[in-house]
Amino acid sequence: MIKTFSFFSILLLSLNLQAQQTTVPDKPKLIVGIVIDQMRYDFLYRFYSKYSDGGFKRLMIQGFNCKNVQYNYIPTYTGPGHASIYTGSVPAINGIVSNDWYDRETNSTVYVTSDNNYKTVGADNVNGNMSPQRLNTTTITDQLRMSDNFQSKVIGVSLKDRGAILPAGHTGNAAYWLDGLTGNWITSSFYMSTLPKWVSDINAEQQPKKYLSQNWNTLLPIEQYSESTIDSIQYESLLPSDTKPIFPHHLSDSTWVKYDLVKYTPFGNTLLKDFGIDAIKNENLGKGTVTDFLTVSFSATDYVGHTFGPNSIESEDTYLRLDKDLAEFFSFLDSWVGKNNYLIFLTADHGVAPIAGLANDYHIPAGVMNELSLLDSMKNILNKSFGDTGIILAYENQQLYLNHSMLEKKNKTDDDVLKMIQPMLLRQKGFYNSFVISELNQATMPDELKSMMNNSFHPKRSGDIMILLDPYWFGGRTKGTTHGAIFSYDTHVPLLWYGWKIKTGESGTLNHISDIAPTLSYLLNIQEPNGNIGTVINFNK
């Protein structure tokens, strides 16, 4: 008996010691969260043979590749995407239901990060009147700051305000983005009252001006872009400096708003890469005793993708040039903090649909819904029934916001409205389904879609009736393309992990975008964000 007891005691003791050894509070010096705006999962492979060894391929070969990571809500847009990545949550909880939505309290459309309580720092305009106040939950970056009494430094950088602000969370030390009017890197008085000297010094160099004084030509000889369509396709949009959507793009011919054009070229990403490196150097990120966190969101891919589509030479060229920028960024990190002292994850905020006209050329069903005329038709029908067009307060993100006090007076419900408009909707080419959002579970739809829909709607911010389009159909633009749908081309994105504690491997297990934040929490032994619904990714599969 005594013998057995001591055997188990020793076993328990040794297990305990092992456990203690594996949970040593070992932290990376720096985490870099990289979001590539509009990068679909397959872009890792479509351009693989042309990527360098040091960029995407370095993470794919030496890191861990989660090959089946999906968004699980709509709309698949930039604001909700960045929010979901960093909160481990979904619009139903974190409240970021779109980039813009109708606000019932103010009877107006609000922008995800606008906040007139704060002012622009770094330019004399309103482009910095911003804050993360509409984000209802904490981010992984907030949790990191809270885990060590706010000693960790968190900085967010992007070409887009929302791509910098949401990842930096509520407690971020700074968020910077590129102001299209002045070409300056700006921030909000939410973070600081004046720009640090290093940011003012960079602004004084007027780098966007230099990039816009040159042409955008292809990195490789143009005949080598065999993964893309021919250069001039009638369905592509034009840059303001273009008369045709072809190379070279004469950027200096632009008659457009100042410096915004640089965001529509791969040089926007290069500017951001340089700014990210400058932020690390000047803020001494990764050089203290705690873990610092830089969030970087490369958005030129999105601007270029919308304009020319994912099958264009322009998109391919933007990815090849971004790959070179990433390679340079990673070798800088090697030299700054040392190879195993930083942790990278790379993902995207959403994917993208092919240009509808191009898909049609190859007999693939796709199309553009004229949403303005659809809205007019709905208003006409309701006007005939109610003698009033004011039933629809707003149509945003394919959701109708209804005037409930007016409906009550007329003794009608949301369901009555749906029944009136649905026969007309069903006659529209490209229309898939519609339902009353509060009665989602009664809709005739696959359970998988219903569960994604349940993640999408916030009771205070979402509309009343949802209108879904067929796959490869979208509203708005007749040239170029967009994203936002619930289908795989918009939901399936890359997720690569690299560096500190990350072993080499790949997995085809289904993971959701909301799994990134809790996985970081697990690796760092810190609390998950407060609205987290994700689960820790299994790196052993």
The piece of 67-75, 302-310, 423-431, 492-500 that touches Zn ion (CB under 5 A) is: 302-310
Shortest CB 304 distance to Zn ion, Å: 10
Write phi, then psi, for 302 (nearest 5 degrees): -70, -50
Q: Which is nearer to Zn ion, 307 or 532 (CB)?
A: 307
The piece of 2-10, 26-34, 132-140, 296-304 that touches Zn ion (CB under 5 A) is: 296-304
Determine the Cα–Cα distance for residues 529 and 288; give it in Å rounded to an integer.
24
Amino acid at 75: P
Residue numbers 64-123 binding Zn ion by CB under 5 A? none
Residue of minimal Cβ distance to Zn ion: 302
Shortest CB 165 distance to Zn ion, Å: 17
Question: Could you tell me how far CA 334 lies from the centroid of its own chain?
Answer: 26
Q: Which is nearer to Zn ion, 93 or 348 (CB)?
A: 348
Q: From 78, 104, 106, 271, select the one nearest 184 (Cα to Cα).
A: 271
The piece of 127-135, 301-309, 315-323, 396-404 that touches Zn ion (CB under 5 A) is: 301-309
Shortest CB 197 distance to Zn ion, Å: 34
Q: Which is nearer to Zn ion, 71 or 190 (CB)?
A: 71
Q: Which is nearer to Zn ion, 302 or 470 (CB)?
A: 302
Across 37-167, the runs of DSSP E, i.e. the strands, are: 64-70, 100-103, 108-111, 120-121, 154-158
Q: Which is nearer to Zn ion, 292 or 490 (CB)?
A: 490
Q: Could you please report the per-residue DSSP string of 2-56? A: HHHHHHHHHHHHHHHHHHHHHT-----SEEEEEEETT--TTHHHHTGGGS-TTTH
Q: For the chain, how big is the Rg over CA atoms in Å?
A: 24
Shortest CB 171 distance to Zn ion, Å: 27
Shortest CB 305 distance to Zn ion, Å: 7
Q: How many residues bind Zn ion (CB under 5 A)?
A: 1
Q: Answer whether 157's CB lies under 8 Å from 174's CB.
A: no
Buried b (16+ CB within 10 A) or exposed e, 155-169: bbbbbbbbbbbbbbb
Shortest CB 336 distance to Zn ion, Å: 31
Q: Which is nearer to Zn ion, 354 or 529 (CB)?
A: 354
Q: From 136, 96, 112, 115, select the one nearest 462 (Cα to Cα).
A: 96
The piece of 60-68, 108-116, 140-148, 295-303 that touches Zn ion (CB under 5 A) is: 295-303
Q: What's the token pair of residue 377?
A: 């038709």
Amino acid at 54: G
Intra-chain end-to-end CA distance of the chain, in Å: 42
Q: Which is nearer to Zn ion, 330 or 489 (CB)?
A: 489
Q: Answer whether 325's CB lies under 8 Å from 287's CB.
A: no
The piece of 176-184, 300-308, 415-423, 494-502 that touches Zn ion (CB under 5 A) is: 300-308
Strand partners, 295: 33, 156
Binding flag, residue 302, Zn ion (CB under 5 A) = yes
CA angle centred on 158, ends 157 and 162, rounded to 5°: 100
Q: What's the token pair of residue 4?
A: 């057995």
Shortest CB 483 distance to Zn ion, Å: 6
Active site residues: 78
Residues at the contact surface with Zn ion, assessed by CB under 5 A: 302
